[in-house]
Amino acid sequence: MKQNIQGLYAITDPTLTPDEHLLPAAEAALFGGARLLQYRDKTAPPDLRRRRASQLRALCHEYEALFIVNDDPALAAEVNADGVHIGQSDGGIATARALLGDNRIIGVTCHGDLTLAREAAAAGADYLAMGRFFPSRTKPQAPPAEIATLKQACGEFHLPVVAIGGVNADNAPLLIQAGAASVAVIEALFGHSDPADIEAAARRISTLF
């Protein structure tokens, strides 16, 4: 049974959450109320990624949060993650579904493009990620998206829409009011080095839902 996709969606970053800081930072975000956590690290060796993904899955489940792996359906299947998040060049939904089965979550990056969102919805995505809605230092080259597009997507699709891109406690209400079921946050959480500050930032955003 797939769980509800709603609330604060924390995404790790290898620069902001390097190896020794990853687990304490993730736990602080979960303690602050993150309902989903995505492990995103494209550069670590496979063995380390496998170990970290297994540790994060266990941590997420302690907090009754969903654990998502970025861009790697095979790793998500191997560590029994709750799902995977894929981009437009990561092998497609059918390939991910074949690896993960019907009961795991597949989220898809759709940028600010309703055509991509329609294609993902038709192909069986479980949530649509749209953005970036605000300037992002983590992904500065990501194409901008309009809040009007988010509102249209939330009205058109019977799927959760996750809003991403420069999201923080001050601008998240605009996205939630437009219909976003969840907001994905990287730097506003993990730009803090102190776990207490990560927890406080997570709590500020979580309480908006």
The token pair at 96 is 């991910």
CA distance 42 to 62: 25
- Beta-carbon-side half-sphere exposure of residue 137 (alpha carbons within 13 Å): 10
SS3 content of the chain, % helix, strand, coil (to 5): 40, 15, 40
Beta strand 127-130 with 7-11 is unpaired
Residue corresponding to tokens 């550069």 = 43
Structural contact between residues 190 and 23, judged by C-beta atoms closer than 8 angstroms: no
Task: Reduce the DSSP state of residue 77 to 3 states and report it.
Answer: helix
For residue 108, which phi and psi values (nearest 5 degrees)? -135, 135
What is the rounded radius of gyration, in angstroms, for the C-alpha atoms of the chain?
Answer: 15
Q: Summarize the annotated binding site for Mg(2+) as residue ranges.
A: 71, 90
Which residues line the annotated binding site? 38-42, 70-71, 90, 109, 136-139, 166
